[in-house]
């Protein structure tokens, strides 16, 4: 276990150390720590790239997508679990089937549709295809199935409608699941590269993960600057994981249980 942890952590360690080294020291030094630590690489990235704008774009896309995915998944999971309507079974099997299709396989269709409605280089154009997250619907449906019918029947007798049942009873009883799914969705969307790379062709609309590739092309062979950009790109999700580690683990466990 220790060996596996060391192998996993080494690239992160190397990126951090390199980001604080001058380029000359990076090439010639064999020291495990920077001999002359410097913040010049970070300053250069901020001054010579659109990183602050990329952060804003990533934040807008990630927060909007996370809220929309969790809200839609909760509503859809509740409808399939608790309501009886024509086509319910067919809808459920379609969601299960879509879970088996990798999203990158649909990337060409997504691009044609988004380009057709003139949403390339817009936040909405980046967000819409990222809303496809069938696993969240499946998780919600399973947990709503596990809630005793007595709660629903008692609330209905008190005059509660379906929205009140969902937002005042079912979701509050599953706040842990909701939080876990929101965090794992946030991390996944922030790290997404392929679709934002295709949909954001204007530098001022790029997300952080896409913008870092532009930084690499602009900076050339400058290891310290490249690593500084990479560290800044991954910093928000790293902090999110460290703060909400238990919730992230719970979400991964839930997802793994569905896949199993």
pLDDT (0 to 100) of residue 259: 46
- Interatomic CA distance for residues 196 and 232, integer angstroms: 18
Q: Is the pLDDT of residue 1 over 50?
A: yes
Q: How confident is residue 236, by pLDDT bands cut at 50, 70 and 90?
A: confident
The predicted-structure confidence for 14-69, as pLDDT tens digits, reads as follows: 888 888 888 777 767 667 777 778 888 888 888 877 888 999 999 999 999 999 99
Dist CA 176 CA 181 (whole Å): 9
CA dihedral 164, 165, 168, 174 (to 10 degrees): -150
pTM more than 0.85: no
207-232 exposure pattern, b = at least 16 Cβ within 10 A, e = fewer: bbbbbbeebeeebeebbbbbbbbbbb
> Scanning the structure block, which residue is given the tokens 């290891």?
223
In angstroms, what CA-CA distances link 46 with 61, 215, 232, 257? 21, 11, 10, 42
């Amino acid at each position: 276990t220790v060996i596996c942890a060391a192998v996993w952590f080494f690239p992160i360690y190397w990126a951090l150390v390199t980001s604080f080294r001058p380029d000359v020291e990076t090439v010639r030094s064999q020291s495990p720590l920077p001999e002359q630590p410097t913040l010049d690489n970070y300053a250069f990235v901020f001054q010579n790239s659109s990183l602050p704008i990329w952060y804003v774009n990533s934040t807008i896309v990630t927060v909007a997508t996370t809220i929309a995915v969790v809200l839609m998944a909760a509503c859809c999971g509740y409808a399939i679990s608790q309501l009886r309507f024509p086509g319910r079974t067919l809808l459920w099997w379609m969601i299960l089937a879509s879970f088996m299709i990798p999203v990158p396989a649909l990337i060409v269709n997504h691009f044609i549709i988004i380009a057709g409605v003139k949403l390339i280089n817009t936040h909405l154009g980046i967000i819409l295809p990222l809303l496809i997250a069938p696993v969240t619907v499946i998780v919600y449906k399973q947990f709503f199935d596990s809630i005793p019918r007595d709660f629903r029947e008692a609330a209905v007798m008190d005059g509660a409608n379906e929205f009140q049942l969902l937002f005042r009873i079912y979701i509050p009883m599953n706040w842990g699941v909701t939080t876990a799914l929101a965090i794992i969705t946030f991390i996944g969307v922030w790290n997404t590269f392929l679709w934002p790379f295709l949909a954001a062709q204007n530098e001022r609309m790029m997300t952080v993960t896409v913008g870092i590739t532009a930084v690499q092309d602009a900076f050339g062979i400058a290891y310290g600057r490249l690593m500084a950009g990479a560290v800044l790109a991954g910093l928000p999700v790293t902090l999110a994981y460290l703060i909400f580690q238990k919730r992230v683990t719970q979400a991964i466990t839930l997802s793994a249980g569905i896949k199993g």
